[in-house]
Amino acid sequence: MLEADYVIVGSGSAGAALAYRLSEDGRHSVIVIEYGGSDFGPFIQMPAALSFPMNMSMYDWGFQSEPEPHLGGRVLATPRGKVIGGSSSINGMVYVRGHARDFDHWAEEGAAGWSYADVLPYFKRMENSDGGEDGWRGTDGPMHVRRGPQENPLYAAFIEAGRQAGFELTQDYNGSKQEGFGPMEQTIHKGRRWSTANAYLRPALKRQNVSLVNGFARRVVMENQRAVGVEIEVRKQIQVVKARREVVIAASSINSPKLLMLSGIGPAGHLRENGIEVVADRPGVGQNLQDHMELYIQQESLQPITLYSKLNLFSKALIGAQWLFFKSGLGASNHFEAAAFLRSAPGVDYPDIQYHFIPVAIRYDGKAAAKAHGFQAHVGPMRSKSRGSVTLRSADPREKPVIRFNYMSHPHDWLDFRHCIRLTRELFGQQAFDLYRGREIAPGDDVQSDEQLDAFIREHAESAYHPCGTCRMGRADDAMSVVDPECRVIGVEGLRVADSSIFPRITNGNLNAPSIMTGEKAADHILGRQPLSPSNQEPWINPRWRESDR
């Protein structure tokens, strides 16, 4: 009989953390439902191979956006992990908590108990930080976090260029001070990707009270407004996994709203159109979709020191062998080893631009490497005002949902992106890059006017793969809230959602860390525990924020 106290749908960043914490004291049984298979093998475990798993149907759900009207009708890939560890097994392994003010904003929006003071103790509980700021970081949690070796001189040039341009430096953007240029943190441990499968799920599965069920979740089974289990399909057979206490959906910002709607929880009109019986009319389900977009600003390098020389088959074989036998060398990094978090203008009180710097000119998906030595900055605004939606294509659980981001639909987005391009040019123009700076590969020196920049943005802006917000957390009396501040789905019993879909607003940076934190904190709410005591630590805010952007 498939039955447990808690049934979790999804083994990703939040789901794996939930499984670990809900089963920790041994008093409750937990079943984790995961459709994807094993993460065994070099494509996932080798950090430098990161472009492979997110483009493999074996590991990725293969979602795409609808044609984006403000991006010339382009269809953008929306990878989500279909494997144990979920998207933490296919992501870029970049570790960013988010800015303190992000979480204070959540609390102001109705997510009481999720301010920075409230969530900081959970970030500390989950972390095992190597080289982070004393007193601000955790050192004995399951999630190993480290800095890259920064052996390539271009990383230091990027950070020094920031200093020369008058910006702040920070030794730990996940500590007291996010703003500035500094080393980037990675979820890599002993040369391997440190996904939540490695950090949380495998240790949890060693316990007698945790089991993993491989199956496709079709809907949550509801009886008298209460979730009593999850209907799954296993080898063409329909089964029900029963939950004695609660069902927790942690299936991603794409699959969580889809599963709610298939279960009769969502906008009543939309459900009826698809022939689904309405259990709870929650108009916010699938709305409020947000993401980060980024551009690759690429510069040729005059010196042959970039990773370009390692893109040939012989070098790749050597790197692979060194990683396979020793878990060291270039294969053991994601190569995102320098970062910056900047403010776009005076009057912006905390960073709203993020940089990833990498010493090669190449696309995230591993395609279209420039045919020369080069380096690039991934840059994008962090707080777009554009909002999209996830809706059902039909009542068939096997059909992919309709994903509409509405990227660049707000006029501010265009101003922000133009500023990002011009700011990157200013940085690459600093003395620190004099030894290395060749011609500009992208956008290219001839792209200068607002119109030319806009055309480049329209054609080349990419998703940073940070979708969130589709099951927004807020006050129970707010019609657009989907879950309350304890992650309970409003209007039904015994059902919670805990993953990036509950974020009221996207955080400043990559979403893996705040998603894991969500799983950690939700576990305490589910178990009815007193949340960890709020922190009284004060984050650094630039004293010149009103007068200057730096």
395: left (phi over 0), alpha (psi -120 to 50) or beta: alpha
22 annotated ligand binder: yes
d(CA 282, CA 534): 31
30 annotated ligand binder: yes
- Provide the 3-class DSSP secondary structure of residue 493: strand
535 annotated ligand binder: no
- Provide the 3-class DSSP secondary structure of residue 3: strand
16 annotated ligand binder: yes
Residue 335 annotated in active site:
no
End-to-end Cα separation, the chain, in angstroms: 61
**Across 417-471, where does the E strand assignment appear?**
437-442, 462-463
**Across 194-236, where does the E strand assignment appear?**
210-214, 216-223, 226-234
Q: Between helices 116-126 and 512-526, what is the axis angle to 10°?
A: 100
92 annotated ligand binder: yes
20 annotated ligand binder: yes
451 annotated ligand binder: no
Full DSSP string of 245-279? EEEEE-SHHHHHHHHHHHTTEE-HHHHHHTTPPPS
Q: Give me the residue label for tokens 């009319």.
A: 281
421 annotated ligand binder: no
d(CA 324, CA 303): 29
21 annotated ligand binder: yes
94 annotated ligand binder: yes
Catalytic residue among 189, 373, 466, 525: 466
24 annotated ligand binder: yes
12 annotated ligand binder: yes
d(CA 422, CA 443): 11
Q: Is-contact 193 53, C-beta < 8 A?
A: no
9 annotated ligand binder: yes
152 annotated ligand binder: no
29 annotated ligand binder: yes
Pairing relation of β-strands 374-381 and 293-301? antiparallel
447 annotated ligand binder: no
Point out the annotated binding site.
Answer: 5-34, 83, 91-94
Please list the active-site residues. 466
Point out the annotated binding site for FAD.
Answer: 5-34, 83, 91-94
